Amino acid sequence: MATAEAAGTSFSEAGAAFESEGADLPPGVGPWKLAWRRLRRNKVALFFGFVFLVLVVMCLLAPVYSHDIAHTGPNTEAGLTATVKIGGKVKPVVSADDIPIGPTWHAKYFFGADINGRDTAVRLLYGGRNSLEIGAVATLITMVLAVFLGVLAGFYRGWWDAVITRLADVIWAYPAVLLGITLGTVFAIGGIGPIKGTFLLAPAIVVGIVYIPYVLKPIRAQVLQLREREFVDAARQQGLSNLQIMFRELLPNVASTIVVFIPLILANAILLEAALSYLGAGVQPPNPSWGTMISDGLQTIPVAFSNVLVPGIMLVLAVMSINIFGDGVRDALDPRAKVRIAR
Amino acid sequence: MIRFIVRRIFAAFFVILAVTIITFLLLGALGNPAARLAGRNANAAEIHLITVKYGFNKPIWVQYYNTMKNIFTGKAYSYQQGFNILTEVKHDYPATLSLAFGAGIIWLSLSVLVGTLAAVYAGRLTDRVLTIVAMAGVSFPPFFLGAIFLYFLGYKLNWFPLGGYASLNHPWQWFKHLVLPWATLSILFIGFYSRVLRSTILDNTNEDYVRTAHAKGLSDNQVLRRHTLRNSMIPIISLWGLDMGQLLGGGAILTETVFNLQGVGQLAATAIGSLDVITIMVIVILTAIAVVLLSAIVDILYAVLDPRIRLG
């Protein structure tokens, strides 16, 4: 060892000898890069991540589809006597006894129409845009607030911790859906301050608040552990302020926990938004969302099951893809190797 | 030990109180409900009458106190519908109870089965298939799953009735009406619990006591049943308590509405839809009590089972 050889020599020579020891070895790979490599090998997770990406792109292209292919908007109701020409035959969009047209597999009314004569496929894409947007914004709100409050509570402890934890307990005491409906209805009817119900931001805020305790508690627990470690003492001795310690030392160490939570919260946010819209406390009509489409479709379920099936399958596909991809991310960040129980 | 229990119960009480206050304030932000109650074409005099009659013009803490007093003496009446809320809740409770406990038992047993299988065959095909199935289970919103069940098994095949609840007086009907709701609710939870159990079992298998057990000569099966499973069940029981609490308080709102079970969850949905403040308060209090009580019981059970927790 270099230290043994340099026992009789000065410190600088020992240091130089020690440092040059590993010069001929290949450079080390950091944990993020290792995780990325592991993720790349997980074909199933990558496939579903790709599926989700395709869904997002499709929904973002909603205006293109509506304008150039279907030639109709998401809220354009067909008149009582509107007809559409399919393969030579002329059919009414909504028949005399209120049966909307089923999937035509053509450019117009690809997935059929709903009871008001609106094009299901166009609504599907616009609704997807709403659902995904609300989910993304809600996830952002949850993660930012939960991490900020969790680090604060875990680091300072004492009074801050007591207040923040009690607040989290109170939010968590409500079942997610009930809290969501209460907040959502309050926004929809009167609004609080400038936030009104027809704003798409309102459901996003509602969904965002509901999941804060879910992320806050694990982050706080991790910060509680980390603050006892030596590197925090070292940082303090170097003269870093409390704020600097929190953001430059603690935050990067909870980063992997944050990354694991993001897909989980996104999936749950999309599901919660769909549930709230289904119950009427989320996205308000006439704006489409996958949840409102299912609730509308349930009214004509015996004659037009496609109006329930199509948005439902899109919803399940989106959420499932996020879940499987998120699971792959979590496996990739997990430093432990797989273990067999049966020998 | 006693101090731990007392502390937990005290904290529980505090949270319930905070929940009621916050709910009341939140609903109070909607403004004077008299205008909504009077109807569309009410004039100022009528609104004023209603305001005085129900005491909406009193300061907010007086209103809060009166509301809570009414609720706890059983005299809480819905403004909109006029029914006695506690009677209504008692009427709707059996449906929610049947749904929650039936589904709870089903999903607990099936989760243990699926989770253990996935853990024992970890990394192999069985595990991968079960994982994807579990993922699908978690991704289906209950109202969509319920709609699919109702359409294919109820409407097309006519195997099950199309929703509604039959009381226990007719056991076979009661069962037939609950099968689909039980299935819908269980699939969601099985997906989640089986994965938690799987990862807990895998974590525990790395522990030293498992190695000791193997070294003693126990077979894989015996190790699993006598040691690993027992320890892995602890977080599952804790989660089960929390989820049952939420369900009993009306958290099964989505399943109940789709199958029209007229349970407490559905009552909550209609109350919120018509902004029936008092009913919302009662149900919220009920939920908070159920959740907090069950979580306290589970915490205490946890401390009884695992001595390490008692010091925490």
Inter-chain CB proximity B140 and A340 less than 8 Å:
no
Q: Give A-chain residues touching B280 at CB under 8 angstroms.
A: 182
B152/A contact by beta carbon, under 8 A? no
HSE (side-chain half, CA atoms, 13 Å) at B88: 23
Among chain A residues, CA nearest to B202: A339
Can you tell me whether residue A125 is helix, strand or coil? helix
Flag whether the ipTM exceeds 0.90: no
Q: Is B91-273 assigned to CATH 1.10.3720.10?
A: yes
Q: Give A-chain residues touching B269 at CB under 8 angstroms.
A: 181, 279
* Strand (E) or helix (H) holding A86: strand A83-86
Between CA B299 and CA A288 the distance in angstroms is 43
- Confidence bin at A342 (pLDDT 50/70/90): very low
Across the interface, of A170, A271, A298, the residue whose CB is closest to B18 is A170
**Has residue A341 got a pLDDT over 50?**
no
Inter-chain CB proximity B220 and A342 less than 8 Å:
yes
A and B: number of Cβ contacts within 8 A = 149
Across the interface, of B15, B206, B254, the residue whose CB is closest to A169 is B15
> Per the omega criterion (within 30 degrees of 0), is the bond before A286 cis?
yes
DSSP string, chain B: -HHHHHHHHHHHHHHHHHHHHHHHHHHHTT--THHHHH-TT--HHHHHHHHHHHTTTS-HHHHHHHHHHHHHTT--B-TTT--BHHHHHHHHHHHHHHHHHHHHHHHHHHHHHHHHHHHHTTTSHHHHHHHHHHHHHHHS-HHHHHHHHIIIIIIIS--S-SS----TTSHHHHHHHHHHHHHHHHHHHHHHHHHHHHHHHHHHHTSHHHHHHHHHT--HHHHIIIIIHHHHHHHHHHHHHHHHHHIIIIITHHHHHHHT---HHHHHHHHHHTT-HHHHHHHHHHHHHHHHHHHHHHHHHHHHH-GGGGG-
Percentage of residues in chain B having pLDDT higher than 90: 3
Interval A162-166 mean pLDDT: 85
Q: Give B-chain residues touching A186 at CB under 8 angstroms.
A: 26-27, 29-30
> By the 8 A CB rule, do B135 and A327 touch?
yes
B241/A contact by beta carbon, under 8 A? no
Percentage of residues in chain A having pLDDT higher than 70: 83
Cα A16 to its chain centre, rounded Å, is: 49
- Confidence bin at A170 (pLDDT 50/70/90): confident
At B100-144, the pLDDT tens digits run 888 989 999 999 999 888 888 887 888 888 888 888 888 898 889
Inter-chain CB proximity B122 and A298 less than 8 Å:
no
Q: According to the model, what pLDDT value does residue A339 have?
A: 37
DSSP string, B28-77: HTT--THHHHH-TT--HHHHHHHHHHHTTTS-HHHHHHHHHHHHHTT--B
Closest-CA residue to A38 (of A258, A335, A340, A339): A335
Mutate to test the interface with B, among A55, A178, A300, A309 (most CBs of B within 10 A): A178
Inter-chain CB proximity A341 and B120 less than 8 Å:
yes
| Mean pLDDT value across chain B | 79
Alpha-carbon distances, residue A258 vs A45, A273, A310 (angstroms): 19, 22, 33
Q: According to the model, what pLDDT value does residue A108 have?
A: 73
Among chain B residues, CA nearest to A298: B147
Closest-CA residue to A118 (of A154, A164, A72, A178): A72
Q: What is the largest CA-CA distance in chain B?
A: 86
Closest-CA residue to A169 (of A136, A217, A124, A125): A217
Neighbours of A32 (CB within 10 A): 13
The most confident of the ranges A4-13, A25-34, B195-204 is: B195-204
B300/A contact by beta carbon, under 8 A? no
B13/A contact by beta carbon, under 8 A? no
At B37-86, the pLDDT tens digits run 666 666 777 777 777 766 676 777 777 777 777 777 776 676 666 677 77
Q: According to the model, what pLDDT value does residue A23 have?
A: 64
Where do the domains of chain B lie?
Answer: 91-273
Between CA B214 and CA A207 the distance in angstroms is 48
**Has residue A158 got a pLDDT over 50?**
yes
B123/A contact by beta carbon, under 8 A? yes
- Confidence bin at A56 (pLDDT 50/70/90): very high
Between CA A2 and CA A19 the distance in angstroms is 9
Q: Give B-chain residues touching A280 at CB under 8 angstroms.
A: 273
Inter-chain CB proximity B143 and A275 less than 8 Å:
yes
Percentage of residues in chain B having pLDDT higher than 70: 86
Inter-chain CB proximity A174 and B121 less than 8 Å:
no
Q: Give A-chain residues touching B246 at CB under 8 angstroms.
A: 175
Between CA B310 and CA A240 the distance in angstroms is 36
At B230-242, the pLDDT tens digits run 778 878 887 888 7
Structure tokens at B112: 């243990």
Q: Give A-chain residues touching B14 at CB under 8 angstroms.
A: 166
Residue partners of B179: CB distance under 8 A and separation at least 6 = B160
- Give me the domains of chain A, ranges plus CATH numbers: 53-58+125-333 (1.10.3720.10)
Neighbours of A76 (CB within 10 A): 15
Q: According to the model, what pLDDT value does residue A337 have?
A: 42
For B76, phi then psi, to 5°, come to: -85, 120
Q: Give B-chain residues touching A320 at CB under 8 angstroms.
A: 135-136, 139
Inter-chain CB proximity B269 and A279 less than 8 Å:
yes
Cα B197 to its chain centre, rounded Å, is: 20
Q: Give B-chain residues touching A174 at CB under 8 angstroms.
A: 19, 284, 287-288
**Has residue A141 got a pLDDT over 90?**
yes
Mutate to test the interface with A, among B80, B139, B151, B226 (most CBs of A within 10 A): B139
> By the 8 A CB rule, do B295 and B139 touch?
no
At B133-143, the pLDDT tens digits run 888 888 898 88
Distance from CA of B32 to the nearest CA of A (A): 11
Residue A252 pairs with which residues in a beta bridge?
none
B128/A contact by beta carbon, under 8 A? yes
Interval A264-291 mean pLDDT: 85
- Confidence bin at A197 (pLDDT 50/70/90): very low
Among chain A residues, CA nearest to B131: A324
Interval B139-158 mean pLDDT: 86
**Has residue A209 got a pLDDT over 70?**
yes
Cα B178 to its chain centre, rounded Å, is: 17
